[in-house]
Structure 1
Amino acid sequence: MRVDFYSFAKVVVNGVLTPFYRIQTIGLEQFPNEGPVLLCANHISNLDSPVVGITAPRPVRFMAKEELFRTPLVKTLVHHLRAFPVKRGMNDRQALRMGLEVLKQGEVLGIFPEGTRSKDGRLQKPLPGVGFFALRTDAAVVPCAIIGPYRPLRPLKVVYGAPVDMTPLRERKASPEEAADYIMDHIRQLLEQHR
């Protein structure tokens, strides 16, 4: 039922957002067709999750801020969209376990490494959680750059980059912080190339 609802919601949201923001999707051919994927995007708007959700070629399970799960109606909607809660600003072990399970099942885990929206559009320091997932699993790490502005009838780009090679960092047991910075560097490169 959830997958059906996700597909239905994707069609509806795509029909609204794509023409309204003239969304352009770049790099889909680089997105892995199967296997676990850690999808990492910059965060500039509350609409980032639905925009990534409608442009990604596979269903995405997002880590969503816990506050969204406090209102019954919103909680039900977000649940059917297959998101799960994470407590921001702290080490949420339950969310980490859930994220690992999503990847173990070969699904796509969507995460915004910055943890919160950037008010000025500039990349912020990433949280180590994204590095934790990248190092603890063999998931393909796909960087994604959302390039605004979110203004009616102004082009909005969603750029998917080639999977980031995490092998050297995994082999030398790099820290989650270093891995997170490495991933953010790839998002930064996409932003600079496509602005």
Structure 2
Amino acid sequence: DRLYFEPLTLEDVLEVVQAEQQAGTLVGVIVQLGGQTPLGLAQRLKDAGVPIIGTSPESIHLAEERGAFGRVLAEAGLLAPKHGTAFTFEEARAIAAEVGYPVLVRPSYVLGGRGMEIVYDDEMLADYLGRATQITPDHPVLVDRFLDDAVEIDVDALYDGTDLYLAGVMEHIEEA
């Protein structure tokens, strides 16, 4: 067993993969233990032929892409706050008008609340979008109805198709 301390870039990970393949059989790469950066590398590593151990790039996509996640929730019969995905300020303003202020805005493909902000009106929305990273078709902004006094809970589970293990249940203490 070896442990590498290298930058989490596609090129550096592929160099480590190549070194491990030359040293013997590479079982695969685990991408879910380093925050957002390795999650973002998962699909590109798979596309490069690297076996992914654990959560698949397809499952990561289902968790990170709001439209896909909303469909999973709906199919499971679970409720979720009204939400939308915006590619422009006009779209974000229309979603906010539909779901009602305050809204929670954040970049897409970001888990864990980074870049998230509660917005109370069109002026604050314009300010947020002006400060947010560039909105592109690949990286829109998510606009969710903000729920006053909500409780956010994370449930970490492992499931192999037969057995389900609950690894942890955590309540967030910041505003949900």
Tell me whether the two structures share a fold, i.e. TM-score over 0.5: no
Which has the higher relative contact order, 1 or 2, with Cα contacts under 8 A spaced 6 or more apart?
Answer: 1
Question: TM-score, normalized by length of structure 1?
Answer: 0.27
TM-score (normalizing by structure 2): 0.29
